[in-house]
Structure 1
Amino acid sequence: MVAPKMLNSDSSSIAVASESRPVMDNNGDYHPSDPNNSYMPWEWEVVDPDPNGLNCRYLNRSEGSPTGSNDFYNYPVSNTIMRGETFNSPQISYDDRNLPWLWVGSSATNHICFVRANSSFVRPVRALDFRL
């Protein structure tokens, strides 16, 4: 993980993790700040206005893709996340259309789900520090 930059002023110092901030493109899609590294642990907030919540598409990593592809949009819905709720994501993954999706949950578990990494659905809240 990249060490945060320190911004100095006369009265205080503030740590900023600007290198790892998700980058939003013109379509509202979020991408890793380093295109060669999808690992980017962040806390995200759901902003989707749908009263039924944001669909999270299920994957059991030990069984592999339920469709035989990385077409996350066709994975079964495992749960929904309501507007205002937050979740952790260790990385951004890309589907077979090259659209970004957030891996919801821990990278250490087999049971995960995916939500679209788009400003219509989510917004980044803060970087997570997983250093031990």
Structure 2
Amino acid sequence: MEMCKLRVARPTRSLATVVRFYREGLGFELVGGFEDHAGFDGVMLGQVGTPYHLEFTVERGHEAPRAPSPDHLLVLYVSRREEWDARVRRMVQAGFHPVRSHNPYWDVYGKTFEDPDGYRVVLYQGEWTR
């Protein structure tokens, strides 16, 4: 069976601040973007070699809401401890500090960071086994 590719798309209050979080903090790369497509501006961010990317959009003249709850998560599994440590350091050096996870499970082997729109990213140190 052919592998699917995944795009997760959501609105943001500010492209510039959310791009900084995902590029400078998490190391995602700009993989595309658009301006004034039917009143929307957007960017796509991803990582080389992965079958997914994130799309963030701003609708001109509208303010996107914040995340509905602190349990709206994007979880990134990082299997090697050294790589996980480096990713956490990168987030902190970019000025983003861990927050306590709403679900304490994620604090056992991970660090949770909140993006500028209130959505949370968990850097989980461990294997994806499913």
Q: Which has the higher helix share?
A: 2
Common fold, TM-score beyond 0.5?
no
TM-score (norm 1): 0.24
Structure ranking higher in strand proportion:
1
Give the alignment's TM-score, normalised by structure 2.
0.24
Larger Rg: 1
